Structure formats: C-alpha cells, structure tokens
Structure 1
C-alpha cells in the first residue's frame, strides 16, 4: 500500500526521477510529435514539451502577459483579448517548470519572467490592498472596462482566489529565480489578503469592487481606507481552490490561523437547515484553536471523503500542486486526496460507464465554458455534472428530503485531460493510462498538448488551450519530472511555519487508509 505521508513516492519510482535532460525549445506552431512510446517518463517529457508550447503561444511578446486562451493551431492572431491574475501566474510557474525540465535555458526563463514582472509592476492595482483587478488586456496591460468579445461593460473586480494564484506564482519565482527575487518580493509585499477576511464569519469574501456594481454588494473595509464593495458571499467550503488565498494570508500574518477552521468541511447534518446540500454528512465535532469544527464527510460508492463544493477535480487538487498538504496533514489531506481521485475514476469507469474519467471545469465541446464534475462529490445540491445532459443523483437528506431513484444512465460525458494531470501524484498508473486512451481514441491532442475537453460519447473535442488548464498540467509535469520543483518554495518559510501546524492537528472523519477499499 502506498505511504500516506509520501503519496508521490510510487510515481517517483515509476518515473525514475532525475528526468531533467535538456530538450530544445519547441517552435511555437510545430505539429504534435507522434504518440509517445516506451517508458512513462518519455510520455511525460513529451507532454511537458508540447504543453509548454501552448503556454508560450499564449504570451504577448511585448508585455509577457499570457492571454486567457488560444486556438488549437496556436495562431497568435487567435489569442484571447483578455487575461487574469491567475493566467499570468500560470505562465510564471510554467516557465519555472519549463526551465527545470530543460525546455528553456535558465537565461531564457529569467528573461521571460523579468518581462512579466516588469509589466505587473506597471499594471493598475487597488493601491491600499495591492491587489490586481480580474481582467486586463494582455497586449497593453490596460484594465478592462469593456469585454472584448461582445463589447459589454466590465465592472472591475478584485478576486481573492485569482490574486491568490498570482501571489502563489510570485512566491515560486522569489524562491526559484534568485536574480528576480527582489522584484517578485516587492509585488508580494504590497498584497494584503486581510482585505478579504471577515473576522465575524472567520471566512474570506469572494472579492470586492472599488465602485458599487450592479446587483448585490456590501460596503465596508476589513482593513483601513475608503470603503470597498464586497461580494455578498463568502468562500465557505473548505475543500475548494480559494484555500490558496487563505494559506497565503495566514502565512503572511494577514489572516489569523483560526480562519483555517472557520470554513465548512461539510455542513452540520442535524435538522433540515442544510437539506438543500447534496447529502446528510457523517462525522463528529472537534475543537481546534477554540473553534468548533464539524468534521463531516460524504459517502460515495464504498468511499468516504470530504467533498469539494461542486465535485470537480481542480477544486480539490490544484492547491496541492504547490502546497504539500498530503505531507503536512497525515490524518486529513493525505487520506482525502487519493480518495477523491479514486472516486472520480469510479464515476467515469463504473458508475457512468464512459470508459474514461477526469471531470473539471473546462471549455465546452459544444461551445463556451462550463463546470464539469461528479455531482455526488460536491456539497452543492445540483453540483457539477459529468455529462452535457446534467444527469445528477439525489441521495436525499434523511427525513428532510426523500431520496430520488438513481438515473438509468448518463448522457454525453465530457472528460477534461487536465484532471488526469492533477491525479498524477495520487494514481500515476491510472492517470497515464487515461491520457493515453484519450489520445488514442479521439482527436484530443494537438501542437500544444491535450486540447481542453473531449465529449467521449460523440467524439467532439474543444480544440482550444486555456492558460489555467495548461498551467495545471505544466505544474504537475514539472513536479513529476523535476523533484517537486513547484512545492519547494512552500516547504520552508512562513507557509511551513504557520500553515503546516494547522494541518498536522486536524483529523478528518475518514476510514484509515483513505482510498484503499
């Protein structure tokens, strides 16, 4: 059985480690290479080279900002006319991963990152908090007030989670590129995540506007200075991607450590107040740092786990690409992460019977963008579904909501390749097999690696590359091929000192052995 405290050890043996041989930088529009043959390490090296090609193709050469997405042929004319802090962060950490895997030289990586940092230093930000707005023009760096796709109005917003991913990438740069550490640190020092933290709720807000937007907002300021206009919602679910902002705020001393225990593992199952959620949780109450926590879990087809909000892969597994949760939380994350992967595999291969698995928000093969997931792995009642028809399961909520008959079948399943890369640490053989099958059976692979999503029923493919999704793939590949290069900055310093002890003290309500059945 795999060690719970070192879940990547099997993959490290599998990949033989030390895989940092120099590879010539690929041309931006080169065709995809033939399907990889031989060792898993060779497949990962090829996936990294091609994925990096798509990341590089999204970048404006003048500003060093990555566009949100680009067409499948990597034509610069088909870059999106907008970008976000997350997209820029994805390019920064991908550049470090490309350097460490030999895809670019140290000098090339330094020049690329320096250009991006220089632009970041000039972008308009909310000066009191140092936070970045959610949308900029990647060609000019201008803050967007008009959406380039349709001309609609943009009300400039400052997102807690998007700024979290940019700050995380700047932390990687600060540690991994000493020549640029000072520049990255200057940008980090002005970012105050305390602006998002609501002490009355012990939770962070989704973000804020500087000017009152249409719809719901709440005027106030958790720090000092003029009022801003907060979202009416908090990020209340624990196992979701906004926890990166929480960790960074705690590590910086801007958010108190009690916040770690202020979000919901699941809601309290007593009574009917939370009967709109997916299912009645099992678990027990515990107290940490004076905060009572219901250590709740959901049951799914013989497994027991702490759910995410919608049931998608990136909610649960994007954060541990960087933060070693599974090492710091031996009685929590080390059990939950591999179980979550096992549940996604169970759904795709057995419950839905698609023959493939891995469900996460992505570009929709039918057009647009959509959340995909496994409904039963999310707290939200409707959840994110794995098929276009939005087939869901309602197990009921005790006497508050009767269970509904299970669906007779599922429709057009949509599989997202980046989900397999997120699973690589926890189920390496399954992840590599799933990727190989997707490439073999569909037109799912192009000059920039795997396209964004595949309708595995009709064979329709979304032939675009998204900076976020390719960035997750690049991070997983960099870690696999270069000794967890993107985790190293967080294994020491403030994150290790202030966040790791919180994870060590917690115990989820999970069977010993996690995903083992």
Structure 2
C-alpha cells in the first residue's frame, strides 16, 4: 500500500569491522554446511567473480557492524555514507535483519562462530528486557537503539509517536528468531522462547470480506493525534480481552507483497487456517474497471477458496503483479521460504518473470536495472518500482519524473531512472550472472560505492547518489548473498521443522496465471 509518514508506516525502511574481517580466498565464501541431499541448488555467479563478490559481502557486513550499538546490540535504521553517523531509531525489522545478517556473516566466514554467538546473545538479551506488548509477544515499531527505550517522540522532529505494533515488522523479527533458533546452538533456547510467544493470529481479521487478511497492525491507545479520521472504536485483541485500535481501513490484500511472510508464519505456527493464504488478490478480478491494466487469467479453487489467477502481460511476460511492482515485494519472502521449489507452478514461474521484466525494462530505458523502495537520491525516501508490475493506480515509478505507463497507450519516454542495489542483489537469487554484471556496471559507472558497500540508490541519468545506508536494505543484500553463495543457507535454517511441514502443502498446489 502507499506508505504514509515513515514514522507510522507498517514497514520501516530504514571500529567499522570488529573482529578483523579478512577473507583471503574465494573458498572463504563457501558455506559452512553443504546443501541438503536432493536440494535444488540456486544458480551462482561464475567462479571468476569471486573477488568482487567477496568485497561486496565484506563491506555490506561492515555497514551492519557500524550501525549496531556496542552496548545494546541494536542496529540503527540507517547510517551516513561515511559510516560515521547512525540514526536514532530502530524497528523490529531492522533488529531482525541484523540477526540474520550475523548468521550469514558467520557461515560465509566473515566472523567466527564465537563472535556471531556473542553478537546474537547481546541482541537477544536486550530484546528480552525491552518493553513490548505482552498479550501478543510482539514489539513496538520504534525504539532508541542506544538505550532500547520505546520512542514516543520522533527524534528528528519531536512529533508524538503512539506505540504501534506492525504485522509485517513483527514477522521479519519472527523470521530472524526462527533462523537463530535453528542456526545457533548457543542461543537456541532463548530465540525459541521469544519466537514461541509470538501471536501472529492477532493481526488476522476473521470478520473481513476476505477472512484472515492481515491488518497493518494496531495501536495501544486511540491515535487521535495521528490519524484523520481516527478509528471510531477499539476492538478486543483476539483471545486476550484487551482493547486495541486496529488499522481498520488498512489490510494487506495482495499476495505479491513482502507481507505474505506474516501469513506464512501464522500458518506455520498453526495460528490461522491454511485457507488464509488464498484470500489475498493475485490480481484484481477482471470485471473491475478501474485498474490501469486489465489482467489475463482464469478462476481456480484451492481449499474451498475461489481465486482469480490473473497476471499482467508486459514485455512478453505474463507476471502476477505486486502492489507497487518492486523487487522486494516479490522476492524478500523468498530469501527465507524456497517458494520457487515448493510451488513451481506459481512462484517458480513468477520470480523469474518478475526479475526478467525488471531487467528488460531497466536495460531498455536506462541501461541499468533493479527497482525497489529505498532512499531518494535528492534526499528522503521513495518507492521505486516498475509500474506495469504493480496494481497501485498511482504507481511505484522507476524514475524521478514519476513517468506513468498507461495500458494501451504508447510507451512513454522515461527520465532519470533510479536503481536500488539491494533489488539487484535479490535478483541474483534467480539471475546471478545478469545481476552481477548489472551491479558491477553500477559500481564502475557511478560514485555509488563506499566503505559500507553500495550506497542506497543511484539516479542513472543525473548520476546523483543517495550516499547513505539503510539497515533493512543492507540486510536484504546479506540475506540474498547468503542464499546465493551458501546454496540456500537462510532458507534451510528457516524451514527446518514446522515451517516445511505445515506451509509447503498449502502453497504447493497453486498455479499462477504467470507464463512458464
């Protein structure tokens, strides 16, 4: 959905190398554990790319270290391009990203097992002491990383902040705790305890027209100072008898969204019925007249739920769109769930198609590609994407000029395209050679690289660069590199146990309208 003020958005977007991170050979980036027997290995970049990949991985990890407070183990949302000035706020997503990045850094031999366990333990111990919502086991959306206190006034403006529990931020922290539970023996019990108390069903709305779609989240008090109009009345939290103020007019209702990870976790924990997965739109139905692009597809039924399996046809690929057409909507859950392997006729088609369309669009218009929400090169934050891959009528745009593509009209002249390196790293899970070549050209052709790896966004025509790092975007890079160089490393840790048992049979039967 279009993001409101970043202080209230459900998903935040927001000495250097402790321990001596030196990597001398390509073999040093080999995973600690081999791939599971019978597991389909992800494609990998050619071996001769190892030196540059090694440097990208080291420097990205350096940015995560620089953003992390040495006393609390909490990572800041962002840091300046020189790694000197970290931000004054963090979120559950940011904290989770640091935890899974630490596991990746360990398994790619950037740090030792001892250092990784020490870092994870420090963060988990801080989390256990932090104020949070007891009834759901969830954390609030904003904390001060310096002392782990809940933020009630925004550090940059002094504006009031009402404590908010975000469904998708809670899920990314849940993912990280599950990875730690399965990956780090020293911290297994503590991570299991924290993950075990998380109630993802508190976000699922059983009363909605499409039941069990997730709310954006809930406030603990009526947010009259923030929302206009405010919610008219509170609702009881499921099974807790505790009134909270849900985002009544905000449900996550599209399947190609990073927010599907919340439903995955709720199903894996047996907290919502498996039918919940099929309630979200693939595309809007064909009889809706207001979308910019009419879908192609057909109706199918799964678990008693009728699903319109639609797709958008763009650049010769029928692709199931997201809300904004961005790479992280499509691929961030795939860092943890092997969707293309478990569901070959749905995600196994759509992930390669989405990556190919982003590449074709970017190369045709700008000579570079990879579009996902990130910093704006001129300052602030913006939602970048490929409009034709989105359902949002207002669009996520691939250029500064916000050039809109309207179905049935001639292809427009795009302007100053903005590429976001983390999007290309996510694409590396499916097109490793093409993604590597694209990133190498972005590094070579622009002032796009600093001590913490690739800066957050690059305008390809003007050459303007957002010279800062966002911990979420850096964590996505670490996650993607872990899966590419470690043969699905994070996926193996995440799905071990209840996730594969309960989730795989749910998503396996589906057939998207995406072209094979």
The 8 Å contact of residues 130 and 191 in structure 1, kept in 2 or not, is answered as yes
Deviation at 1:16, TM superposition (A): 9.2
> Which one of the candidate residues 25, 34, 56 is aligned to 1:47?
56
Partner of 2:279: 262
After superposition, the Cα gap between the structure-2 partners of 1:491 and 1:190, relative to the gap in structure 1 and judged at 3 Å, is closer
Partner of 1:381: 393
> Which one of the candidate residues 349, 371, 381 is aligned to 2:383?
371
After superposition, the Cα gap between the structure-2 partners of 1:109 and 1:451, relative to the gap in structure 1 and judged at 3 Å, is same
> Which one of the candidate residues 458, 472, 475 is aligned to 1:454?
458
- Give the distance between the partners of 1:389 and 1:276, measured in 2 at CA: 23
Q: Deviations over 1:444-497 (max 9, x none)?
A: 010110000001111111110110000000111122222322111233311101
- Give the distance between the partners of 1:276 and 1:124, measured in 2 at CA: 44
> Which one of the candidate residues 177, 184, 188 is aligned to 2:191?
184
Deviation at 1:406, TM superposition (A): 3.6
Greater CA drift, 433-442 or 498-507 = 498-507
Secondary structure of residue in 1 paired with 2:508:
helix
Unaligned runs of 5+ in 2: 1-24, 33-45
After superposition, the Cα gap between the structure-2 partners of 1:234 and 1:21, relative to the gap in structure 1 and judged at 3 Å, is closer
- Give the distance between the partners of 1:225 and 1:307, measured in 2 at CA: 38
Q: How does 1:257-406 map to 2 (within 5 A)?
A: 257-270=274-287, 274-350=288-364, 353-395=365-407, 403-406=408-411
Q: Deviations over 1:120-172 (max 9, x none)?
A: 00111111111110000000100000000111111111000000000000000
Greater CA drift, 311-320 or 40-49 = 40-49
Secondary structure of residue in 2 paired with 1:149:
coil
2:131 pairs with 1:124: yes
Deviation at 1:112, TM superposition (A): 0.3
Q: Number of aligned pairs?
A: 470
- Give the distance between the partners of 1:193 and 1:17, measured in 2 at CA: 40
Computed over aligned residues only, the root mean square deviation of the Cα atoms, in angstroms, reads: 1.8
Q: How does 1:55-454 map to 2 (within 5 A)?
A: 55-75=64-84, 78-200=85-207, 201-202=210-211, 203-214=213-224, 215=227, 216-217=230-231, 219-220=234-235, 221-231=237-247, 232-270=249-287, 274-350=288-364, 353-395=365-407, 403-407=408-412, 409-454=413-458
The 8 Å contact of residues 128 and 225 in structure 1, kept in 2 or not, is answered as no
The 8 Å contact of residues 269 and 498 in structure 2, kept in 1 or not, is answered as yes
- Give the distance between the partners of 1:379 and 1:466, measured in 2 at CA: 26
Partner of 2:17: none
Greater CA drift, 134-143 or 147-156 = 147-156
Q: Deviations over 1:345-380 (max 9, x none)?
A: 111111xx2110001001111100110000110011
Partner of 1:474: 478
Secondary structure of residue in 2 paired with 1:279:
coil
- Give the distance between the partners of 1:21 and 1:38, measured in 2 at CA: 15
2:515 pairs with 1:495: no
Deviation at 1:405, TM superposition (A): 4.5
Unaligned runs of 5+ in 1: 1-14, 23-36, 396-402, 513-517
Secondary structure of residue in 2 paired with 1:381:
coil
Deviation at 1:276, TM superposition (A): 3.0
TM-score normalised according to structure 2 size: 0.89
- Give the distance between the partners of 2:74 and 2:284, measured in 1 at CA: 40
Secondary structure of residue in 2 paired with 1:346:
helix
After superposition, the Cα gap between the structure-2 partners of 1:38 and 1:326, relative to the gap in structure 1 and judged at 3 Å, is closer
TM-score normalised according to structure 1 size: 0.88
- Give the distance between the partners of 1:16 and 1:254, measured in 2 at CA: 43
The 8 Å contact of residues 393 and 406 in structure 1, kept in 2 or not, is answered as yes
- Give the distance between the partners of 2:392 and 2:409, measured in 1 at CA: 16
Q: Deviations over 1:396-441 (max 9, x none)?
A: xxxxxxx44442x111111100011000011111100000000100
- Give the distance between the partners of 1:483 and 1:129, measured in 2 at CA: 34
Deviation at 1:45, TM superposition (A): 1.4
After superposition, the Cα gap between the structure-2 partners of 1:129 and 1:342, relative to the gap in structure 1 and judged at 3 Å, is same
Secondary structure of residue in 1 paired with 2:489:
coil
Deviation at 1:302, TM superposition (A): 1.0
- Give the distance between the partners of 1:79 and 1:492, measured in 2 at CA: 35
- Give the distance between the partners of 2:152 and 2:91, measured in 1 at CA: 13
Partner of 1:19: 29
- Give the distance between the partners of 1:17 and 1:447, measured in 2 at CA: 23
